[in-house]
Structure 1
Amino acid sequence: MKHQGSILIVDDNADILTASRLLLKQHFQQVKTTTDPQQIDAYLKQFEFDVILLDMNFSQDAISGKEGFTWLQHILQQKPEISVIMMTAYAELDLAVNAIKAGATDFIAKPWQNEALLAVVTAAMAHSETRKQKQQLNLQNQGLSLALQGQQQAFLGESPAMLKVFDTIEKAAKTDANILILGESGTGKELAARAIHQASPRADQTFIGLDMGSVSDTLFESELFGHKKGAFTDAKQDRVGRFQLADKGSLFLDEIGNLPLSQQAKLLAVLQNRQLTPVGSNKSINFDTRLICATNHNLYQAVEQGLFRQDFLYRINTIEITLPPLKDREQDIPLLVEHYLNHFSHKYQQQLKVTPSDMKRLCRYSWPGNVRELAHSIERAVILSEGDTLNIDAILTNQAPVPPTETQLNTFDLKEVEKQTVAAALAHYQGNVSKAAKALGLTRGALYRRLEKHEL
């Protein structure tokens, strides 16, 4: 059985190349050869090598080994994870020892015994794999420091609607089925995704979240699949994508309804094959990631309108979970108020309570921003309260209603309606993107995408 490794042999002696290639191709998946070291860069860009067999001397400098040292340093600067084996004549063993000090993995003396060459290359292959694993771990640690979110909030409820959600989560979490979470903005879709992860066999692995509404078209593949150094102008180093960061764990893609059709096709292909290819690489990588998606869009309607691929929808919604708006689960409001009151009272070193009459007023409010609005409102009230009672007037008198349309809609074209609605919200809030996004039920990133789309 052939080893999966890839080898490049660089020697200006064609006989050496032929003999070594015939031997090594019997044992390794890919063996490339060249007589010209000037071609090394081209090969490094086109292929991902594990081992390079490099001659110490070429015709330009047949004795000192200087050219071999130069190319050794060049390779290690470009691809430090590659194992370089220097090839030398018996009389040049001192040069070979110096090459190892300079970063070569090993050397082989010419002429060699086939068994000796195989042993050296196999050991170098293992060394290269160890280097790559270490590099991958470092990249993952860097990526995790950027991708991991803050402390997890509580996912609470005792209403019949939420008990039904919890029951579905408990059943679905035990499987690796892809899950689609539906619901209005602010209903806790990310909290539901985290609850699924925590209840799954992957709970001790990583949970990675990504807001698709904040990912630009140009960075889509890099964010999800990673990239290699030099793949594009700002690719200063290799980067691990979210699928690899979440390997063995769970990947949560929020606002999946914002994906353009072209990106849906790319993501669908990756999910079908369970393989991804980083930008700038020609090597596919297997992944084992549990996918959880969420959106506040009606994806079935989007499919009918040609804005969402039906095959992609079927791929991501093996299990669907719909989170009810807070106005439909009034029974849960006291529980949530007490939870966030305790949390923020502790955070801001306060001791506050809610009177029964004030709790009734909070339960009667419609909470258009759902649980997210409730949490932010309680925090604001805790900060502004004096004495030992929560000042709910700081909540109920400062709620901004969803803005009326300030431009009379005179078309049924959905694209134009969206443009006019976004423009009206911005005008109503005097250009405040955060407030406009909240009123529209969008994240800031999703609103920015629409501003760019409509050139507003």
Structure 2
Amino acid sequence: MDQNCDKAEANLLNLLIVDDERTIREGCRDVAQGIGYSTYIADNAEHAFRVLDTTSIDVLLLDLRLPGVGGLEVLKEVKRRRPETVVVVMTGYASVQSAVQAMKQGAYDYVTKPFNLEELRLILDRVLGHLQLSTENRILRQQVKSKEGFGAIVGRSPEMEKLYRIISKAAHSSHPVLILGESGTGKELVARSIHYSGGSREKPFVAIDCGSLVPTLIESELFGYVKGAFTGANKNKDGLLQAADGGTIFLDEIGELPIDLQAKLLRALQEKEIRPVGGTKAVPIDVRVLAATNRDLEQAVAQGSFRRDLFFRLNVLSLRIPPLRQRKQDIPLLAGHFLERLTRSTGVRRNISDDALKLMLGYDWPGNIRELENCIERSCAFTSGPTIHVSDLPTTIQNWRDQVEPVAEKAVPRRGIMPIAEMEKQAILGAIDLLHGDKLEAARLLGIGKTTLYRKLKEYGALQ
């Protein structure tokens, strides 16, 4: 941590020193003020309670051996009045035994007399870091209870605020919108926000995942079919484009649509009519098209796997959803949102420890919000108490530091700038290595098409 930043943060915190020895009080005050705490002193329990009654104390440095009311009684009363106060006890008699008793009653840490001032400084630095994380967590949990973002989308980072402005403009337009983003970033949620924020909110919203449909069924799903069009077609069936008439159709993973169906979709959008499979009559439609992809469609156009004219037809308006690693300040807010949702469905309220949250903030989340949601659900299933700890998180996240730190030390030179092509190579080969050779999963998590991945591996001479 930057020392100036630490001092600025500590200046917002009040620390009370309770000890009957003047030299101890003054020494502790000098150390605390050097860090940046606003300090108060008391020489007995009664004096301490008067300070606590008139001042919001964040940290209490408490001697266990006080005249009159003892330190353990003071600790118990402080935790009853102000459970959020961080208490560090000082003990010079009965040593560890009394300190352990204090810890059981809610003390954060202890220091044994006689102690040196550097030891005290390290403890107070640790307290500062603990309070900073606790404060951020508390504030973000409070934000969950108020406005979380835009519609059903959760996030308050600058990147998301920019996205909300684009969504708002798109919602009041009737043009097609191309939604770009890695897998798991919430592209369908953005599409729904566009639809339900616009003038057609009372009309149908129909979503179709082009990547999950069997290629031979996509045409009949989109355009419908007439009775007798093929074996099993015992009656007429409206297609999804017709079902969305007057509203919005959302074509997720549009890049996976076969090239021949791309031509038929383009014709339907241009002519505003469809022809069901096996039919001879055109059916007029009035739909707004929202499409989404995690692929680079411009590259697909260049490679001939996506029609240029369809790309231009869909790309009238476009927006890109930032990956979770570029909006990490939203992670506590999202985690709180998922915990609240689980509370409503299970009746069990849980929270996340500061250490677990810190680890989650450091992780890069290649699966984005979908991975975070899965992490919260799994952690809630595995935890035995009301708080999710580091040990409850998926092993992928627990082992993250051990995996990336050696790679980072090797990949980033001490001097100079690494070329983007080399960074891309390290990312691709590193992902495949971490996934034990699973190239398809690597391509999915990296947000690139499998064709692109194999082409890159061929360039690197790593295709086996």
From 323, 331, 334, the counterpart of 1:333: 331
Deviations 1:104-134 (A, max 9, x none): xxxxxxxxxxxxxxxxxxxxxxxxxxxxxxx
SS class of match (1:214):
coil
Partner of 2:301: 303
In structure 2, runs of 5+ residues without a counterpart are 1-150, 404-428, 450-464
The 5-angstrom pairing of residues 395-434 of structure 1 reads 395-399=393-397
Deviation of 1:383 (Å): 1.2
Decide whether aligned partners of structure 1 residues 220 and 424 sit closer, same or farther in structure 2, where only a CA change above 3 A counts: farther
Deviation sequence 1:218-246 (CA, Å, 0-9, x none): 21220001001110012122111001111
Aligned pair in 2 of structure 1 residues 210, 397: CA closer, same or farther (>3 Å)? same
- Percent identical among aligned pairs is 43
Contact 2:379–2:394 (8 Å) recurs in 1: no
Give the partner amino acid of 2:317: I
Residue 442 of structure 1 deviates from its aligned partner by 9.1
Q: 1:317 aligns with which of 315, 318, 326?
A: 315
Contact 1:425 1:439 in 2 (8 A): no
Do residues 171 (structure 1) and 175 (structure 2) align? no
TM-score of the aligned structures, taking structure 2 as reference length: 0.54
Confirm or deny that 1:375 pairs with 2:373.
yes
Q: Pick from 338, 341, 348 the counterpart of residue 350 of structure 1.
A: 348
Compared CA separation, residues 226 and 395, structure 1 to 2 (3 A): same
Quote how far apart the aligned CAs of 1:385 are. Answer: 1.2
C-alpha displacement of 1:301: 1.0
1:389 matched to which residue of 2? 387
Match of 2:289 among 291, 314, 319: 291
**Contact 2:205–2:247 (Cα < 8 Å) also in 1:** yes
Q: Cα–Cα, structure 1 residues 392 and 198, in superposed 2: closer, same or farther, change >3 Å?
A: farther
1:253, CA displacement in angstroms? 0.4
Structure 1 counterpart of 2:391, one-letter code: D
Partner of 2:210: 212
Q: How does 1:431-442 map to 2 (within 5 A)?
A: 439=445
CA shift digits 1:327-386 (9 cap, x unpaired): 000111111010001111332231211223322221111111000100111011111111
Question: How do 1:65-80 residues align onto structure 2 when only pairs under 5 Å count?
Answer: none
Structure 1 residues 182 and 348: CA distance shift in structure 2, 3 A: same
- Matched-pair contact (CA < 8 Å) for 1:202–1:248: yes
User: Matches of 2:327 and 2:157 in 1, distance apart?
Assistant: 6
Aligned-partner Cα distance in 2 for 1:294–1:221: 18
Q: Are residues 1:183 and 2:187 paired? A: no
Summarize deviations over 1:395-422 as a string: whole Å, max 9, x none. Answer: 24245989xxxxxxxxxxxxxxxxx999
Unaligned 5+ runs, structure 1 = 1-152, 403-419, 444-456
- RMSD, aligned CA: 3.0
In the alignment, which residue of structure 2 is the partner of 1:64? none
Q: 1:355 to 1:426 in 2, by over 3 A?
A: closer
Residues 392 and 239 of structure 1, relative CA distance in 2, 3 Å threshold: farther
Task: Tell me how far 1:440 sits from its aligned partner.
Answer: 6.6
Q: Count the aligned residue pairs.
A: 272
Aligned residue among 256, 265, 272 for 2:254:
256
Report how far residue 158 of structure 1 moved: 0.6
More displaced stretch, 277-286 vs 350-359: 350-359
Distance 1:335 1:256, change over 3 A: same
Name 1:365's counterpart in structure 2: 363
Distance 2:267 2:430 in 1: 34
Residue in structure 2 matching 1:197, options 195, 198, 201? 195
**Does structure 1 conserve the Cα–Cα contact (< 8 Å) formed by 2:187 and 2:321?**
yes
Query: Residues 339 and 349 of structure 2 are in contact (CA less than 8 Å); yes or no, is this contact kept in structure 1?
Result: no
1:269 to 262, 267, 271: 267
Shift of 1:441: 5.4
Deviation at 1:423, TM superposition (A): 11
Contact between 2:351 and 2:386, CA under 8 Å: does it hold in 1?
Answer: yes
Describe the superposition over 1:298-344 as per-residue Cα deviations: whole angstroms up to 9, x where unpaired.
01111111221111101011100100000000111111010001111
Alignment partner, residue 68 of structure 2: none
Match of 2:235 in 1: 237
Inter-CA distance 439–164: structure 2 relative to 1 (3 Å threshold): closer
Q: Give how far 1:268 is off.
A: 0.5
2:378–2:394: 8 Å Cα contact kept in structure 1? no
Which AA in structure 2 matches 1:169? I
* Distance in 1 of aligned mates of 2:302 and 2:448: 22
Matches within 5 A, 1:10-25: none
